[in-house]
Structure 1
Amino acid sequence: MNIEQTVSTAVADLALGSTFTFDDLVGAIQDHRQRTLRIVELADLGDHDGICAVWLITESEDLVLHAHSDSVLHRQQFVLHEFAHMILGHGEDDECSTEDFLLPDIPARTRRRLLTRQDLDSHTEIAAEALADHLAAAIRGSVCGESRYLEIFG
């Protein structure tokens, strides 16, 4: 399946229509994954650290940690990229690997996602960024209303 088809299928599966709010998207992801989704900005994390955002899967929730940026759109893209990984089912494979020995305190799924982030040309990273772009366009196309979007992105 090519990336355009992957993105189109993922958007259709969300059943949100062509425009939606940030809150609608968060709700759809929580419904799809049957777990709470929490978004937290880490002031000490910056894109100069090489990680703009990370999705952590805990026992009880999905947690997206993102770096600060003075650009609202930049911060939004950090978070939407991680949402895209969730929607596309990336990082759900629990296979053990040699990293178990090297980084035993970090969950296997998180280790794999962090260690593969440097491969920005991979199919999964390109698909996640393409879906994040599509999600951003749909959110911008929605009618501005009461939303946690402003609470999170300013």
Structure 2
Amino acid sequence: MNKDVSVSTAVDELDLGDNFTFDQLVGAVQRSRRRRLRIVELADLGDQDGLCAVWLVADGEDLILHASSDSALHRQQFVLHELAHMILGHDANHDPEAPDFLLPDIPPQIRARLLRRQDLDTAEEVIAETLADRLAAAIRGSAMHNSRYLETFG
């Protein structure tokens, strides 16, 4: 997908329906990208440290590193935001010319993404968060459907 794709189109292209589990979403992203995806919590990193999560593209796999949080929903949102960047194809838009004197051992694509993280009001960040919210709603819908919540509480 490219950055101009709408959130609705992105969700439709996942072909998961209106409600799905987190694991089904991860599987769909792996199939779409034809790459393994690992999600790792960094216990020493907290959401108060300013970096909630980062997506790294490695040889043969994608890796999402995320901060710890007391809230499972908060941790899930960190990961969903990074999954949204993958789904929207934002990795294709890195600036390979980002300065290398600060982080010389980090590949240019990753360096550019890390250095951009301070500007959370960019179009890419806003649409990624919008898609993450939509994915979270679908996951909650799946949980409620599977738990008979709607049947019980209407």
Indicate the larger mover: 72-81 or 95-104: 95-104
Unaligned runs of 5+ in 1: 146-154
User: Which structure has the higher relative contact order (CA within 8 Å, separation 6+)?
Assistant: 1
Kindly indicate whether the alpha-carbon contact (under 8 Å) linking 1:95 and 1:108 is maintained by their aligned counterparts in 2: yes
Shift in Å, 1:144: 4.2
Whole-angstrom CA distance in 2 between matches of 1:98 and 1:126: 22
1:111 aligns with 2:108: no
Q: Which amino acid aligns with 2:114?
A: L
* 4+ residue runs over 3 A deviation: none
2:17 aligned residue: 17
Whole-angstrom CA distance in 1 between matches of 2:131 and 2:27: 17
Whole-angstrom CA distance in 2 between matches of 1:126 and 1:98: 22
What does 1:1-154 correspond to in 2, within 5 Å?
A: 6-93=6-93, 95-142=95-142, 143-144=145-146
3-state secondary structure, aligned to 1:54: strand
Shift in Å, 1:94: 5.6
Kindly indicate whether the alpha-carbon contact (under 8 Å) linking 1:38 and 1:62 is maintained by their aligned counterparts in 2: yes
Identity of aligned residues (%): 66
Q: Which amino acid aligns with 2:6?
A: T
Equivalent pairs counted in the alignment come to: 142
3-state secondary structure, aligned to 1:102: coil
The root-mean-square deviation of aligned C-alpha atoms, in Å, is 1.8
| Structure-2 change in CA distance of 1:134 and 1:103 (3 Å) | same
| TM-score, normalisation: structure 1 | 0.86
Kindly indicate whether the alpha-carbon contact (under 8 Å) linking 2:96 and 2:112 is maintained by their aligned counterparts in 1: no
Whole-angstrom CA distance in 2 between matches of 1:135 and 1:43: 25
Q: Which amino acid aligns with 2:17?
A: G
Whole-angstrom CA distance in 2 between matches of 1:144 and 1:42: 30
Whole-angstrom CA distance in 2 between matches of 1:34 and 1:133: 24
Kindly indicate whether the alpha-carbon contact (under 8 Å) linking 1:91 and 1:110 is maintained by their aligned counterparts in 2: no
Whole-angstrom CA distance in 1 between matches of 2:146 and 2:73: 15
3-state secondary structure, aligned to 2:8: helix
3-state secondary structure, aligned to 2:125: helix
3-state secondary structure, aligned to 2:44: coil
Deviations 1:68-107 (A, max 9, x none): 1001110010000000000001122465314234322112
